[in-house]
Every structure is written in C-alpha cells, then in structure tokens.
Amino acid sequence: MTVATIASHQVRAGRTTELGLLVLALALGVGAYALVGLGTADAVPTNWLGYAIGLTVLSLALHGVLRWRAPYADPVILPLAVGLNGIGLAMIYRIDLAEETGFSVRQLTWTALSMVLAAAVLVWLRDHRTLRRYTYVAMLAGLVLLVLPLLPFIGATINGARIWVRVGGVGLQPAEFGKIALAVFFAGYLVSNRDTLALAGPKLLGLQLPRARDLGPILLVWLVSLGVLVLERDLGTSLLFFGMFVAMLYLATERVSWVVIGLALFAGGAAAAASTFGHVAARFDVWLHALDDEVYARSPGGSGQLVQGLWGMASGGLFGTGWGEGRPDLVPYAESDFIVASLGEELGLTGLMAVLACYLVLVQRGLRTAIGVRDGFGKLLAGGLSFVIAVQCFVVVGGVTRLIPLTGLTTPFLAYGGSSLVANWVVVALLLRISDEARRPAPAVRTVTPGGGTPTGGPGTGTPAHGTPVVTGTPVGPGVGRAGGDGDDDQPTEVVRGVPR
Amino acid sequence: MSELTVALLRLGYLALLWLLVLAAIGVLRRDLYGTRIVQRGLPGRGRREAPRGAAATAGAAGGTGAAPEPRAEARPERRSGRSSGPSRLVVTEGPLRGTTMPLSTSSVLVGRSPSCTLVLDDDYSSSRHARIFPQDGGWWVEDLGSTNGTFVDEQRVVEPVPLPTGTPVRVGQSIIELQR
C-alpha cells in the first residue's frame, strides 16, 4: 500500500499569465480581421488599425479592472472570451464584405458596450453572494423578460419566432438576459430547498424519488418552457431554460432521479410539440430527411440552409479555405445561426475543433470555479452559468452538424446579435467574480488547540508568489485550516475525501 | 499575393489558434486538482520537511547510488534529539486516509470539532475524541470520554496508555498511527 499525502495547492493569482494569453487572443482576433481583407481584396482593411487599437484598449481595460477588483480571478476565462469574440467579429465582417450588409459595425458597437458592461459588473458587484438577496426579484425579472416579447406594440415576430422586443429602433432578445436572472433565481431557490428536494420521498428501483409536492417547481418551469415554445415558437430558448433548471437541480441535490424526471418531461413535451405544432414537426422532418429532394426544395422550412451549411463545411475540409477564400455567404444567416458552418468552411475541421476546444476550456473553468468556491449559492450559480454556455454550444453546433434538430439558439460570443453578446459578457463577468472568490486564499487560519497549538500553516496562509517552490512539508489537516473560515450560513467546512490510492 | 503566402498565412492562423488553446490548457493543467498528492515510499520523495528542491536532490542522489536510508535515519535525530521518536501522525484508514501531520512537542487533539488539531470527517467519532500527547520521552494516547471509544490493539482505552510507533489506534471509522 502506498500512502498518499495531500498537500494543498498553491494558487497563483495569474494576472501575468492572463496578459500573455490575452495578447495571443488579440492576435487571433485582429489577425483574422486583417486576413479577411487580404483574402477578399488583397489588402488590409482600411479601418484595421482603428479596430485593432479599439479591441486592444477594451481588452486591456477589462484586464486592468480584473487586476484592480478581482486579482485572483481565473486567468483563462477573459482571454478565451476575447478570442472567441474577435473570431466572431472577423467572420461577421467577412460575411458583410460578401453580402454588402452592415452587421459588423453594429456588432463592433455591441462588443464595446458588452465589455464596458462586464467591467461595470466587476466593479460594482464586489461579492456574488449579494445576488442571493434578490432571489425572488430575479425570478420576477426573469419571467417578465420571458413574457415581454408577447406584449403588443413592443413585441415583434421575426422569422416566425416571437422573441424580439423593439425599443427605439433597437431589436433585443430579452430571453438572453432572462437566462441570467433565472440562473440567479434557481441558484438562490435551490440552495435553500435542496435538502427537501434531495432527501424526502420514496425510493423506487434504486432511484430516490422526490415527494409529489416537491415536484411543483420543476413542473412550473416545465410549463413556462412549454409556454415559451407554444406562444413564442422558440424551441431553443425553451430547451435552454428547462435544461438549465434540471442541471442545477442535479447539481444541488446529486439525485439522478431529477435528471430522469427532467428527461422524461422533456421527451414528453418534445413528442407532444412535434405532433401538435407544424413548425416543430418541420424541424424534425428537416433533421431526419435533410437530403430528400422534396424536403430540400420545400419553402419555407426546407432543409436547404442546413444542407448548404453541411456542403460549406465539407468544402472547408481539414484545413479550411482560409479567411475570405470560401463562400460561406451562400448559406442563409451565415453570420448568426450558421456562423459555425462559416467558420468550418474557412478554418476547416482543424480550426473549428480549436474553437470548440476554447468553449470546452471556458466551460471547464466555470465548472472548476463551481467546485472551488466555498458557498453553495456560488457553486450553483457558477455551475448553472457554465452549463448554459455548454448547452448553447451543444444545441447550436449539434443543430448545424445535423446531430440534433436545428433550433434557434445563438453561438455564445461568435454569432451576430447584440443581446446574446451582452448577456454572455455579463455571464463571463459573473464567472470571473465567482472565480476570484473561489481562488482567493482562505483568509486566516484559526487553530485552536487546547494545551498548546500545533503551529499549522493551513492552505494559503501567505500570499503565494511566483516561482516559490511548493513546500510539501506544510502540515496538512483538511479542516485544520479551513474550519470556520467564512461565516456564511451554507458554507460547509471543506474536507478532502477519497484520496486516490 | 503568391499561393505560398496565402497557404502559409492560412496554416499559420490555424497554428496560432491552437497555440491559444494549448496555452490555456497548459495554464489550467496546473490547478486542475485542488490538492497535490505526494506518494510516500519512493526514494527521496515525500520527506516531509524537505522543500521540493531538496526532495529532488535527494531523488537524484538516490538515483546515483547513495542510499536514501541513512538520510532518513539521521533526520529525526538532528531535529528533535530523540533517536527513535515518531515524527508524524498518519491516518491509515477512514475518510481522511493518507493525511499526515507532523508531530511537535505538544499534544494532538483528535475529533470532529473544528478546534481539534486533527479534524476527522467521520460520523463515528466524537467531537473531542482522543488526545495523543508526549510524556516521559514517549507518546501516550488518552480517550476523552468519547461515545464509541478509542481502541489500541482491539483494547478499549480507559486510561492513558503508552503508544509505540506504528501501533494502530482506532478512532471511530478511522485508524491513525504514529510513524517515524
């Protein structure tokens, strides 16, 4: 038997690492912008320098805000968000050049606005636990934002989905902001009620079933999601909300039964919707029989867009055509819904895999933050927000690559759309805030030992410095250092379990 | 632009993209795990008081033929003046298996209460369960009125008993022992 010894890991603040990664990410965004010009017109775009300076200043400003207000925030999140946003901007600009539209200028404005808003969130929100006070306000806000598009005058139907609100000439998708509000509500609600949801109830076939009255909230959320699906005809958003709730329920209770119940409700809802509503049935038809002539030629609701996206990615091959060398503009909505197919065509499988890996790392950092943070509310919020990013990627990329039926969700950071961009930058700001809390060294070590204490330097007494060798001789007692660290009511004493042997 | 330049720019961009991904993974590899697991029993590794650099040198020395054993013997002598005294407390069974604590000259309180020196995450132990303390040049163990008792060699401890190095002590579901 080999006995393993646990030594606490020394967290590095990582701001310098972040700066290095940020330079790489900026090089990607700005380089792509230049390459688009070179590929289409053999010249660097005239506004390239201004664009480069603008993006750099904004990113460095955000980096500065992190140094100032969240010095222990995760060093990987910001560069990945900047990189993805830059790649998205370049692709939208590229589609603009081909179709002579003006999306990229508006997307640039939205990018600037989003990054300023993210900085504002980081400056004003000093502790994510403040949000827990607004649990039910967040619920109300989330529901109002969901219902807003249904109201007369300000609601608008675009492309068959009534998910838009027009205010002063600017179109917004309130559901994008609603997802943040509802994530706050779910986290606050579940952290208070998880024990009844997890422990009470009968056991059936090894599944711990919840009590009937505890089913209330999940049924309510299910009904709201169905309402969104029926009244706003938006498959993606309803899927996103329901998925987020089930995932957070599972995170809070560790009960597989909730996942089973959630999947059963989802399957039932989807089957009912597919047999009742024409537009949902058409989506299934397009997914299953995309290459049939009859389905391809049908208009509207044919599979033409999907199949052309597939051909686009096929012509991209392994290494892509290169920025500005392909024809991604042949696919309708190449700058928003099908931006993944556009990237697949111009960057190839290699590039698309790298983009997906960026998302993977981003989501992993979010989930790691959820594991690391010490309060239950933060855990659920970080877990829920990361899951939202993950499920959006899965639904969009799965839809475009014909793994699942196509639904109308936006690709985070890449796709054209102001609401989505702003909402995702706020999500990133929240994740950064929580990760700062998660990675910050535990405040003070309290070792009360009657009869003369053992001098124990628990995890994270001194400020870890770069290049300091990790002293494995640090006495380790999980719980020795952490016990009674923070005074929040639901912060369990951290203990190390299950040492690998 | 020539074909070659176009191809180079295209592939160079992809390389840059992967560079970002790999750099990000390189950063997160460092703190993927919250704790560092140090394997004991490997020559030159896991000498508790040695910083990492010293441990590496010890490993290198072991690799070049110098036996690590004498170093290990010499260590407690140099530190505490006792020739055969235990230097640490190790949890060998239970939820905290693998946890070690260096011993000093003061006593060690074991239990579930956060004020204990060794905090056990063990439902079967009492909040202040047992005390291990040095006396007359040796270590002793004493039960502090725990519900489930403290056992040395399957014998329930009713009054302080001497605790030789390497003797397992059962506290709840956990077994701890002193090691050299």
Q: What is the tens place of the pLDDT at every residue in A66-114?
A: 999 899 898 999 999 999 999 999 999 999 888 888 888 889 999 999 9
Residue at A242: amino acid letter: F
Q: What percent of the residues of chain B are helix, what percent strand, and what percent coil, each to the nearest 5?
A: 30, 25, 45
pLDDT value, residue A168 = 66
User: Taking a contact as any Cβ pair under 8 Å apart, which residues of chain B between 102 and 121 contact chain A?
Assistant: 102, 104, 106-109, 114-119, 121
CA distance A65 to A119: 6
Q: What is the mean pLDDT of residues A381-396?
A: 93
Q: How far is B11 from chain A (nearest CA, A)?
A: 7
Q: What is the mean pLDDT of residues A462-476?
A: 38
Nearest alpha-carbon partner for A91 in A104, A106, A105: A104
CA distances from A190 to A144, A221, A263, A391 (A): 21, 13, 19, 20
Contact B119 A480 (CB under 8 A): yes
Of B37, B96, B109, the CB nearest to A449: B109
pLDDT value, residue A254 = 81
Q: Is the ipTM of this complex over 0.85?
A: no
Strand order from edge to edge, sheet including B108-111: B118-119, B108-111, B130-135, B138-143, B161-162
Q: What is the mean pLDDT of residues B53-76?
A: 39
Tell me the residue ranges of DSSP E strands in B70-129.
Answer: 88-93, 100-102, 108-111, 118-119
pLDDT value, residue B84 = 62
Residue holding tokens 């222990």?
A72
Q: Which domains does chain B have, with CATH numbers?
A: 87-179 (2.60.200.20)
Q: How far is A204 from chain B (nearest CA, A)?
A: 27
Of B36, B53, B101, the CB nearest to A477: B101
Q: How many CB atoms lie within 10 A of CB B126?
A: 22
Q: Is the pLDDT of residue A496 over 80?
A: no
Of B31, B50, B102, the CB nearest to A475: B102
Of A321, A348, A500, the CB nearest to B37: A500
CA distance B13 to A325: 14
The better pLDDT of the pair A40, A28 is held by: A28
pLDDT value, residue A209 = 67
Res. A202 pLDDT band, cuts 50 70 90: low
Residue holding tokens 């929100």?
A125
CB contacts of A439 in chain B (<8 Å) are 31
CA distance A227 to A219: 12
Lowest mean pLDDT among A90-104, A128-142, A469-483, B88-102: A469-483
Tell me the residue ranges of DSSP E strands in A205-324.
Answer: 207-208
Nearest alpha-carbon partner for A332 in A105, A159, A168: A159
CA distance A122 to A113: 14
Contact B10 A322 (CB under 8 A): yes
CA distance B142 to B158: 8
Q: In b/e form, how buried is each residue of A185-216, taking b as 16+ CB within 10 angstroms?
A: bbbbbbbbebeebbeebeeeeebbbbeeebbe
Q: What is the mean pLDDT of residues A324-352?
A: 88
Contact A472 B98 (CB under 8 A): no
Q: Is the pLDDT of residue A212 over 70?
A: no
Percent of residues, chain A, with pLDDT higher than 70: 80
pLDDT in tens, B139-159: 889 998 888 889 988 888 888
Q: Is the pLDDT of residue B20 over 80?
A: yes
Q: Is the pLDDT of residue B66 over 60?
A: no
- Interface contacts A/B by beta carbons within 8 Å: 224
Of A8, A25, A493, the CB nearest to B35: A8
Average predicted confidence (pLDDT) for chain A: 80
Answer whether B180 touches A (CB < 8 Å).
no
CB contacts of B89 in chain A (<8 Å) are none
The better pLDDT of the pair A317, A11 is held by: A317
User: Taking a contact as any Cβ pair under 8 Å apart, which residues of chain B between 125 and 144 contact chain A?
Assistant: 131, 133
pLDDT value, residue A459 = 40
Tell me the residue ranges of DSSP E strands in A306-380.
Answer: none
The better pLDDT of the pair B64, B104 is held by: B104
Contact A477 B17 (CB under 8 A): no
